[in-house]
Amino acid sequence: MILWLKALHVVSVIAWMAGMLYLPRLFVYHAQATPGSEASETFKVMERRLLRAIINPAMAATLIFGIAMLVLEPALLRQPWLHAKLVLVLFLAVLHGKFSRWRRDFEQDRNTRPARTFKIVNELVTVAMIGIVILVIVRPF
């Protein structure tokens, strides 16, 4: 059972990270579009669909399968590398919440952030993802 949970967890993480990497890139382009323009309206649809159809369900599945693995293998909770991983996962979950808020701002033509902000946030997602992979595979401590 644990191997099935791990496989489903990894698939969910891949989908979540794909969305978390793509959404800020859409925000970069959207921030450069004129509010009310055809491009801006297209980005609104793309952002809403990406968040609701992919990112939200993928994050939920990631958390469900991750928690299920911890229920089956509670000894993992005593591993320091897992604590560090969970901090990075929490960071990604907080970013996910920010992305939802930013999407609503764009939807209502209230975005005030420059494209550069979203470029930087995109890099933060990448760094957190790399850290998680290293912690899970290498288990440095």
Domain ranges within the chain, ordered by starting residue: 2-138
pLDDT for 74 equals 97
> Per-residue confidence at 41, pLDDT binned at 50, 70, 90?
very high
The answer to whether 109 and 115 have CB atoms below 8 angstroms apart is: no
The predicted model scores a pTM of 0.95
| Mean pLDDT of the 28-55 span | 98
Mean of pLDDT values over 20-48 = 98
State the average pLDDT over residues 52-70. 98
Q: Give the tens place of pLDDT for each residue, 102-131.
A: 999 999 999 999 999 999 999 999 999 999
